[in-house]
Amino acid sequence: MAAVQSAPVELGFAEEAPAWRLRSEQFPSKVGGRPAWLGAAGLPGPGALACGLCGRPLAFLLQVYAPLTGRADAFHRSLFLFCCREPPCCAGLRVFRNQLPRRNDFYSYDPPPEDPPPGTGDSVCLQLKSGAHLCRVCGCSGPKACSRCHKAHYCSREHQALDWKMGHKQVCAQPDQLDHIVPDHKFLFPEFEIVVETEDGITPAVVGKEDDSEVVESLGEALEEELDSMAKHESEEDKIFQKFKTQISGEPEQVMPQLLNYLKADSLGCSVDWGVLAIFTCAESCSLGSGYAEEFVWKQDVTDTP
């Protein structure tokens, strides 16, 4: 095994934050809730955000604000990750990239204010500046409207039915209340801000091909009892996992795969589960105007042990 020099490792920590900090104009990195879309036009449609296996709408998992230094067309840049949360499927994953120049149709040229805007409270905005409507349940593109009030929008009949049961039936005849009564549906994951910090002094460990393993990077920490259980087995994969555990021991609260615990989704067999989610983007980060480009996500499962 040989250590290699690399750029400082960035760690993400899930922290509670006021609602205004997680809105689009703050360019957040965040977990759960509804997506804080970057570009307000060209959103992925319901077909793009449906599970390829079961066909159900995908749930927003997280987004990361990742601008590119020196790229005028990617002054703002975010990645949006969605997953299927319906057992026993829980396998559908899709990721989208969006980027904008500093001068664009949606945001001020100047940095966002550090103080909360006056009079906004915790209200949910379900219509973007482009005029696009968002689904009341998931916050994704909502091209379908309620046939009674024509004010509530949805991505699918499934989410329309869910919202009807959660209270829309009572407020459907009161259109002026629709923007003020938007329940936090159980379909959504708990919401946290991802606070990014740089960890100095960590370099990824690269294991030679002859060892039949892969690059081990500082991506996170599972629950301590799970780590200890896995450590009892002496397979090659377990040895690699121990090196991984040692590497990230200095910052045990970083997000991956600790994220499952934050999302209350760490029950194997009945909820979403993964070991590592690795996202690959276009090396040139090619621009598609204000639209969203689909990228590649690779899911590595935790190996089952007796």
The band of 90, judged by pLDDT with boundaries at 50, 70 and 90, is: low
Q: Which is nearest to 113 in space by CA: 20, 16, 19, 17? A: 20
pLDDT at position 178 is 65
pLDDT in tens, 164-222: 988 888 888 876 666 656 767 789 999 999 998 877 644 443 333 344 344 334 334 44
pTM: 0.77
pLDDT score, position 237 = 54
Query: Domain limits of the chain?
Result: 7-300
**Run of H or E residues at 14:** strand 9-15
The percent of residues above 90 in pLDDT, for the chain, comes to: 46
pLDDT bucket at 227, cuts 50 / 70 / 90: low
Lowest mean pLDDT, pick from 11-15, 64-68, 184-188, 231-235? 231-235
Q: What is the mean pLDDT of the segment spanning 45-53?
A: 94
Mean pLDDT, residues 74-100 taken together = 90
Those residues whose C-beta lies under 8 Å from the C-beta of residue 54, and which sit 6 or more positions away, are 84, 86, 89, 92
pLDDT value for 3: 46
What average pLDDT does the chain have?
80
In angstroms, the CA 35 to CA 138 distance is: 8
Q: Over pLDDT 70: what percentage of the chain?
A: 70
Give the model's confidence band at 277: pLDDT under 50 very low, under 70 low, under 90 confident, else very high.
confident
Per 3-state DSSP, what percentage of the chain is helix, strand, and coil (rounded to 5)? Answer: 20, 25, 60
What pLDDT was estimated at residue 124? Answer: 80
Q: In the predicted model, is pLDDT for residue 31 greater than 90?
A: yes
192-199 and 30-31 strand pairing: antiparallel
Indicate the SS3 state at residue 60: strand
Instruction: Report the alpha-carbon distance of residue 56 to residue 50 in Å, rounded.
Output: 5
Most confidently predicted of 25-34, 88-97, 145-154, 249-258: 25-34
pLDDT exceeds 80 at position 9: no
Do residues 99 and 76 lie in contact, with contact meaning Cβ atoms separated by under 8 Å?
yes
User: What pLDDT, on the 0 to 100 scale, is given for residue 186?
Assistant: 83
Asked whether residue 19 carries a pLDDT value surpassing 80, the answer given is: yes
Quick: pLDDT tens for 111-170: 999 888 876 556 788 999 899 999 999 999 999 999 998 889 999 999 999 999 888 888
